[in-house]
Amino acid sequence: MNTKEFIKKVKNKEIDIVEHTEEVIEKARNINKRYHLFNIISDDSAIEQAKTLKKEIKKNNIKNKSLLGVPISVKDCVCVNGVESRAGSKILNGYKPVFDATVIKKIKEQGGIIIGKTAQDEFGFGTFSVNVGVDFKIPLNPLDKERSCGGSSGGAAGISQIADFPHIAIGESTGGSIVAPASFCGVFGLCPTYGRVSRYGLIDYANSMDKIGTLGKTIEDNALLLKSISGHDDNDSTSINSESDEYSSYLKKGIKNIKIGIINESFGEGVEKEVTEKVMGGINKLEENGAKTEKVSLPLTSKYGVQAYYLIAVSETSTNLAKLCGMRYGRHEELTGNFNEYFTKVRSKNFGEEAKRRIILGTFTRMAGYRDAYYMKAMKVRTKIIEEYKKAFKKFDLLVSPTMPFIAPKFSEIEKLSPLQNYMADIMTVGPNLAGLPHLNVPVGLSKKMPVGMLLIGNHLEEGKLMQVGNIFNQ
């Protein structure tokens, strides 16, 4: 039963929404015991939402509830009223927001039921969801427990793949954290234009790149949820003053004469042979359906994207995390010593290794004497990268590349990677994130029984075109 059919049955009172939610919570608990995809399952809150909905259904007070009864999982960095929201970090243990993030408010207004907070890299710091916070469990890929779910929205992608009930996930991306896990788990993952979806209530990683998006088994699921959560928000100064689109309407369109640029640099050294083959197979399928393709070169993005991304991201995150010092914000410890000693103790005990690495790097790049050489230069490169994409979009509707250069790696393989090798895994995904462009992971087949993802990149505010083209693979 797909999501559309489920909503129809709930409206027609063929499904008892309270009983269904109880079943979903039980299934989520059983899945979590095996795969660690949730940091918390919000059973009491979910049942309460279902009971309220049941009363409204009884009164036929359900007009415009486009997500009626649909179970929605939420990445741990998005605030949910009364539900522990920790961004995967021990330093936020016990934090229960007294408000809903704008996206959560919209989901609840549309009748969606929040079932839990999904596992992630601490504050989003990673590509494989192995950089979880102190005392957190690493999520396991539901297709192979020895492999990564991808990061940082690993739990969101994992539960989207394994759920045998109607379900859509809220993820978040800074440098590829929606499409990378979507690729590794074999689901559709959509990262919208920066500012398309309000960031109010999102626990920041890097303010100038953070975006809330969607993951689901089908394009329809992504279209449905994105329509519900997008739109202007007065609480977010970076929110674009643009109405959300009717994304589902794009799924009825064909792709004849859509112009797609194949990013030349994305198929070279470092990309697994089978990944290249599967993505080229996907491109052939687009051509068979009427799309026009041509190679395009993005030399600046390819050469400097990773460096610029990490310099900007760590600079912003070191600033964002400075407030978590155990005084007003963050986990408290016994008040002993002077401020520096107390500050050091709190952060040493409660931040994971990767969080500490990024704080140190970011603090260094913002220091007097280094700021112009690193941070400001990276910002100038970012502008050049945006210009390079904009030039490409004068000729093409969309751009295409592999999402990740390899299939989901085994944990034993990840352990052997240096921090630099970890960072280079994001080489395909950092470009569109730096430029604030919408992008979509499309599953295009299997390699060694694991999913391969193809990345579609659109111009600003053209999520509809991504869905129009991605729908060709919606099987």
- Average pLDDT rounded to a whole number, residues 239-258: 92
Residue 215's pLDDT band, with cuts at 50, 70 and 90, is very high
CA atoms of 408 and 72, how far apart (whole Å): 24
pLDDT exceeds cutoff 90 at 11: yes
As given in the structure block, the two tokens for residue 177 are 């954290």
* pLDDT at site 368: 86
Residue 216 host element (H or E): strand 211-216
As given in the structure block, the two tokens for residue 168 are 């859509």
**pLDDT (tens digit, 9 = 90+) per residue, 315-370?**
999 999 999 999 889 999 889 999 899 999 999 999 999 999 999 999 999 998 88
Ordered domains of the chain (ranges, CATH): 1-298+397-475 (3.90.1300.10), 305-373 (no CATH)
323 DSSP 8-state letter: G
Residue 440's pLDDT band, with cuts at 50, 70 and 90, is very high
**pLDDT (tens digit, 9 = 90+) per residue, 368-424?**
888 999 999 999 999 999 999 999 999 999 999 999 999 999 999 999 999 888 988
Q: What is the mean pLDDT of the chain?
A: 96
Residue 136's pLDDT band, with cuts at 50, 70 and 90, is very high
CA atoms of 367 and 289, how far apart (whole Å): 53
pLDDT exceeds cutoff 80 at 475: no
- SS in 3 state form for 263-297? EHHHHCCCCCHHHHHHHHHHHHHHHHCCCEEEEEC
* pLDDT at site 243: 80
Cis peptide bond upstream of 152, omega within 30? yes
Q: What is the pTM of this model?
A: 0.97
Could you list the active site residues?
75, 152, 177
